[in-house]
Amino acid sequence: MKGKNVYLREFKIDDWHDVHAYASLEQVCRYQTWGPNNENDSQNYVKQAIADARKCPRTRFAFAIALKNRERVVGAAELVIDSANSSGTIGYIVHPDYWGRGVATEAATCLIDDGFNRLKLHRIWATCDSRNIASAKVLKKVGMQQEGRLRDHLRLSDGWRDSFVFGLLEDERSRL
The greatest distance separating any two alpha carbons of the chain, rounded to the nearest whole angstrom, comes to: 44
Q: How many CB atoms lie within 10 A of CB 160?
A: 10
Q: pLDDT tens, position by position, for the chain (176 residues)?
A: 888 999 999 999 999 999 999 999 999 999 999 999 999 999 999 999 999 999 999 999 999 999 988 879 999 999 999 999 999 999 999 999 999 999 999 999 999 999 999 999 999 999 999 999 999 999 999 999 999 999 999 999 889 999 999 999 999 987 66
**Domain layout of the chain by residue ranges:** 6-127
Task: Give the DSSP H or E segment for 117.
Answer: helix 103-117
Long-range residue pairs from 140-143, CB within 8 A, at least 24 positions apart, any chain: 140/166, 141/105, 142/105, 142/108, 142/109, 142/112, 142/168, 143/112, 143/168, 143/172, 143/173, 143/176
- The CATH architecture of the domain made up of 6-127 is 3-Layer(aba) Sandwich (3.40)
